[in-house]
Structure 1
Amino acid sequence: MGFEALPERLAQVRAELARRAPQQITIVAVTKGFGTDAIRAALDAGLADIGENRVQEAVQKQEELGARSQELGIRWHLIGHLQRNKARVVPGRFEMVQSVDSLDLAKELDKRAAGLRVLLQVNVARESQKSGCAPEEARTLARDIAALGNLRLEGLMTLAPFTDDVEVQRRTFRGLRLLRDTIKEEEGVWLPTLSMGMSSDYASAVQEGATVIRLGTALFGPRAGETP
């Protein structure tokens, strides 16, 4: 699969961001389901933040790239659900884990990965099929994770329901932003990073204050088996 269209797609995304968002936005290129050629294409386009959903797939790509993974300056983000028994794989492999959703998982990572940057995943829309802590748990969890000695809790992450309804999207993202503000006011924990918005809804996310968006098909096109 070629990625010749990536620079043009990225330019379109950046133009959309310029129209909608005054804040600085980090684009995480999500290469789930693509090979290392997608990672190289992203790097060639100036994108060094690479997101993977599964630990095993990320490790396979890192091993395929070998020493070049560090030489290329890749910043690996784990954005999918992480089981506690996989926490041992994280040290030295990921710059950030965006999907911490429990204190138990945070403690496992804290034992193993000094200085690891993490986000607390919140299931704002309360969808049963998605990971993330409940909104009412987030305040206490953020306080407790921030108190751990080794992790660097930098913000919150969420996924909106899969819908074309822009108001539903924006309500979800707004909920995460307001939750972040509440955590600051009531717990004194400042969380500058809001990771929210994917290929289908990033425009809504940036309007509600996203500082990180996670884009796959918007950059690389459809994955094998997906409808263009």
Structure 2
Amino acid sequence: MTPDERRAELAESLAEVRERLAKACRAAGRSPEEVELLAVTKTFPASDVALLSDLGLSAFAENREQEARGKVAEFAELRPQAAPRWHMVGQLQRNKARAVARWADVVESVDSERLAEALARATANALDAGDREHPLDVLVQVSLDGTTGRGGATPDDVPRLAEMIARTSDLRLRGVMAVAPLGGDPAVAFDTLLSISERLRDHHPEAVEVSAGMSGDLESAVAHGSTRVRVGTALLGGRRLTSP
């Protein structure tokens, strides 16, 4: 596929996703401006990210630090004038915190105090070294199925983790993130997440973001208060293998 053909394909997919979002927002009585579209570009090349940037997107998500690091650098070479926001949405090991703090604007998958502490230290070091200019925005990932195999803090652990994050000067608590449980009703899951978000905002008014909904369930997420949907397949197509 030529670059022009790929651009046309991405433009068509983007228009379809935006229309789905607009319809979902109308059905929920919300404005489309209330819901950010986050392009999940994992396993896709930096050239696709560049084309999506040309089409007006400015927020991109990765789930593997090694792949993301190279892609962020390559994108900067392809589009030096662009200023995207890069999100880490995958499960993150503490030993990757230092590397992530150098390229990520947002980490959505903070699910333990030990990870938050590692990210705070790494961000402080990156700020001191001039590798970044601002504190790291973070979301607390919530497990909605009672297990932590796919990442996420239990609902009962969210308040304590949020308090710890809020006390650090190098992290900024922005809200919550979750993935709907496999095989479950996404509406029930997202309603639960909205309740957790509302309780969190009672103590942390700045934590307004609710990152929920993907290609298959974004309508349900929007109906239950999502402020950011994470869309990969519906935008970019089937998974492509790229070198990390």
Structure 1 residue 134 and structure 2 residue 150: aligned?
no
Provide the rounded CA distance (Å) in 1 between the counterparts of 2:20 and 2:84: 25
124-133 vs 23-32, greater mean Cα deviation: 124-133
Counterpart pick for 1:5 among 9, 14, 31: 9
1:120 aligns with 2:166: no
Letter in 2 for 1:214: R
2-structure distance, mates of 1:153, 1:184: 11
Alignment of 1:81 onto 2:91? yes
1:41 Cα deviation after fit: 1.7
User: Is residue 200 of structure 1 aligned with residue 220 of structure 2?
Assistant: no
What's 1:159 paired with?
A: 179
CA contact (8 A) 1:154 1:191 kept: yes
Residues 1:123 and 1:105: Cα distance change in structure 2 (over 3 Å): same
Gaps of 5+ in 2: 125-134
Give the superposed CA RMSD.
1.9
- Alignment equivalent of 2:164, drawn from 144, 169, 172: 144
Q: For residue 87 of structure 2, give the secondary structure of its aligned residue in structure 1.
A: strand
**% identical aligned pairs:** 38
1:107 paired with 2:123, answer: no
Q: Which moved more, 1:2-11 or 1:209-218?
A: 2-11
- The total of aligned residue pairs comes to 221
Residues 111-162 of structure 1: per-residue CA shift (max 9 Å, x gap): 2215110101000122453101011111121122111121001000000023
Within 1, Cα distance between the matches of 2:24 and 2:13? 17
Any idea what the Cα deviations from partners look like across 1:84-105, whole Å, max 9, x if unmatched?
0111112230110111111111
Say which structure is richer in helix.
2
Q: Which residue of 2 aligns with 1:60?
A: 70
CA distances 1:145-196 after superposition (whole Å, capped 9, x unpaired): 1111210010000000234x6xx101111111101112233x3554100000
Compute the TM-score of the two structures, normalised by the length of structure 1: 0.90
Judge conservation of contact 1:142–1:189 (CA < 8 Å) in 2. no
Specify the SS of the correspondent of 2:56.
Answer: coil
Give unmatched runs, 5+ long, in structure 1.
none
Secondary structure of residue in 2 paired with 1:129: coil
SS of the residue corresponding to residue 133 of structure 1 reads: coil
Aligned mate of 2:100, from 73, 90, 98 = 90
1:119 is aligned with what amino acid? L
Q: Distance in 2 between matches of 1:189 and 1:148?
A: 16
Q: Using the alignment, how far apart are the partners of 1:87 and 1:182 within structure 2?
A: 28
